[in-house]
Structure 1
Amino acid sequence: MSTAEPGAEPGDDQVRMTAWVRGTVQGVGFRWFTRASALSIGGLTGFALNLGDGRVQVVAEGSRGNCEALLGWLRTGDTPGNVTGVTEIWDEPRGGYEGFLIR
């Protein structure tokens, strides 16, 4: 189901992207830089969270294009630490976030 406004550009559908980032991504400022990147891209809400297994979970809601931009940044290698892999899933937005938080 498309949630884009009539006349919106392709890729502007509102989505929820959940990514799990593997590697040396805890204790290196990764969540802070992820939040800064999300705020720089703009139009995203969600959070970055350290998981008990050493991964960071990133949840972002906004336009598909903006979520893809954040996902691209996560995969660039221009992040703190050392990212060895990123797995993501796409879904319908759930809402309920105010801004982009570090949890």
Structure 2
Amino acid sequence: MKEIAYAVRVTGRVQGVAYRAWTQGQARALGLRGWVRNRGDGSVEALIAGPEAAVEAMVTAMGEGPGAARVTDVWTEPADPGPVPAGFAIRA
């Protein structure tokens, strides 16, 4: 099973709508590693690593987000999956 990682940035109404907690729950359910945090510009960024199919499914899900979110864009950039620690954290 091929491991991949993406740095992800999500824009829209994604802060104050439990987007980070939702992302953490989805990532854990998919067995992914990484983290998610709010950015000062109102967007959310994440680093997601794991099996290719699960990472791709997570990126797709992030385009929808939780019910109160209104995602306008999702940008991804390939990252090195090697140094991503186990677990999925919400960072400040």
- TM-score w.r.t. length of structure 1: 0.80
Between Structure 1 and Structure 2, the one with more strand by share is 2
Q: Which has the higher contact order (CA 8 A, sep 6+)?
A: 2
How many residues of Structure 1 are paired with residues of Structure 2 in the alignment?
Answer: 90
Are the equivalent residues in 1 in contact too, given 2:7–2:45 (CA < 8 A)? yes
**Residues 1:23 and 2:12 are matched in the alignment:** yes
Provide closer, same or farther for how the CA distance between residues 78 and 31 of structure 1 changes in structure 2, counting only shifts above 3 A.
closer
- TM-score w.r.t. length of structure 2: 0.89
Partner of 2:61: 73
Aligned sequence identity (%): 31
Rg (Cα) greater in structure: 1
User: Cα distance, 1:39 vs. partner?
Assistant: 1.0
4+ residue runs over 3 A deviation? none
Q: Which blocks of at least 5 consecutive residues in structure 1 are unaligned?
A: 1-11
Partner of 1:47: 35
Question: RMSD over aligned Cα, in angstroms?
Answer: 1.3
Q: Which blocks of at least 5 consecutive residues in structure 2 are unaligned?
A: none
